[in-house]
Amino acid sequence: MKDGYVIRDQKLPHFITSTVVDWIDVFTRQTYRDIVIECLDYCIKNKGMILYGYVIMSNHIHLIVQSEEGKLSDLIRDFKKFIAKNILDKIQNSPESRREWMLERFKLATQKHQRNKEYQLWQYGNHAEEIYSTTFMWSKLHYIHLNPVRSGLVAKASDYIYSSASNYVNDSGLLEIEKVDNPIVNVLDPRSIALYDLY
């Protein structure tokens, strides 16, 4: 893991990226995306997670997250562990056309490390970036929210329900998040206006 992507200050918010091994498109299935939503909701209500923004893409998730208790690494570890356990259980025990192929890939991933005995869902690391300013926070929120637009899934970020974009646009969404104050927009800059047209 690169030194630049370690969570040094456990109390500060961080931009986190968690990626499925081999970039397998696990989250193309709604049932697996819903497991992530349920886990985020549980962590917000019971584990002291402060969630500022998120998006669930086909093979990775982005979060801007903070721990009320100042134990962000533990919170992310438990979050990913719970998701992995539940998704692997669902893959093994529910109809899934890609079951054998996915389980084989998840099994192969364990051979590179000794932590996981049977299957490994997540790549190691969180690509954590400390949020050090409101400007940086908003650059990451835009990155997160525009991911589905860049991928061609939706024309407007707020139309993608597995994201916090709609929380910022019209106060609706699958999860209750901690909204960041809107930045001051330079209305004379066409790039600023074009950016907000994508929401």
Q: Tens digit of pLDDT for each residue in 165-177?
A: 999 999 999 999 9
Residue 196: Cβ within 10 Å count:
14
Residue 103: Cβ within 10 Å count:
16
Give the CATH number of the domain where residue 144 resides: 3.30.70.1290
Residue type, 178: E
Query: Alpha-carbon distance 195 to 70, whole Å?
Result: 33
Helix, strand, coil proportions of the chain in percent (round to 5)?
45, 15, 40
Q: Cα Rg for the chain, rounded, in angstroms?
A: 17
pTM: 0.89
What is the count of structural domains for the chain?
Answer: 1
* Pick from 45-49, 79-83, 88-92, 187-191: least confident: 187-191
* pLDDT of the residue at 96: 87
Query: What six digits make up the tokens of 83?
Result: 């998701």
Q: Is 99 in contact with 92 (CB distance < 8 Å)?
A: yes
Query: Alpha-carbon distance 185 to 31, whole Å?
Result: 38
Query: What six digits make up the tokens of 8?
Result: 């040094």
Taking residues 149-164, what's their average pLDDT?
A: 97
Q: Is the dihedral of CA 81, 62, 25, 199 positive or negative?
A: positive
For residue 112, give its domain range.
3-197
